Amino acid sequence: MSEILRKAEYLLSETEPERLAPARAEVAFVGRSNVGKSSFLNAICQRRGLANVSKTPGRTRAINVFAIDPLRWLVDLPGYGYAVGPAESRAGWSAMIEGYLTSRPSLRGIFLLIDCKVGPTKLDHDMRAWLQAAGLPFFLVGNKVDQVKSSQRLNQQKRIAEGLEVPVTQIRWVSATEGTGIAPLRQEIVKLLS
């Protein structure tokens, strides 16, 4: 069933969400820069290099759309967290992300990636609170679980879950580079897109 994700291809990049065409179903990925969003997208689609397009200059600050067919999308939102640029460009970033998240009736799920080693940052908390307040369907993903020593893993997972005020089991724990926890997420994503 998750085979259809292998069909994902880069479709387009857009900085003005209101210009995006309607889709039938889409899921989006959000998180701080370097959290492993590209690696995660590649792992989900089993397509090495697929999301590298998001690193192309000019596209790092854009909404990058990957499609398994013209109406079913995987949407990579620009990473946050680098205190780059003047305040107005950061405000522009928020406007772009919020504009996208609030204007897509076909948006079935938002995957918020957290770095397991770093733990939730202030901006991760802000994003989670914003998604919750907006009543959007979001899922928490703890990536880079392999970077936490197995002896410390459970404690770290508890700490992250407490920080995010959710039960440990509500976070999908994954390693994008090692593939841990990815298969069940593929199935969830396929279901959301079906």
Which residues of this chain interact with ligand GDP, rule CB under 6 A? Answer: 33-39, 79, 143-144, 146-147, 175-177
Integer Cα distance of 39 and 51 in angstroms: 7
Residue closest to ligand GDP (Cβ): 36
Two tokens at 153?
């893993």
Integer Cα distance of 22 and 42 in angstroms: 24
Of the pair 36, 120, the CB lying nearest ligand GDP is at: 36
Of the pair 50, 68, the CB lying nearest ligand GDP is at: 50
Report the nearest approach of ligand GDP to the CB of residue 105 (Å): 27
Report the nearest approach of ligand GDP to the CB of residue 142 (Å): 10
Interior angle at CA 56, CA 81 and CA 61, nearest 5: 35
Of the pair 53, 168, the CB lying nearest ligand GDP is at: 53
Of the pair 71, 125, the CB lying nearest ligand GDP is at: 125
Two tokens at 125?
């908390």
Integer Cα distance of 125 and 153 in angstroms: 21
Report the nearest approach of ligand GDP to the CB of residue 194 (Å): 26
Report the nearest approach of ligand GDP to the CB of residue 175 (Å): 4
Two tokens at 60?
């790092």
Q: What number of CA atoms fall less than 13 Å from residue 107's CA on the CB side?
A: 27
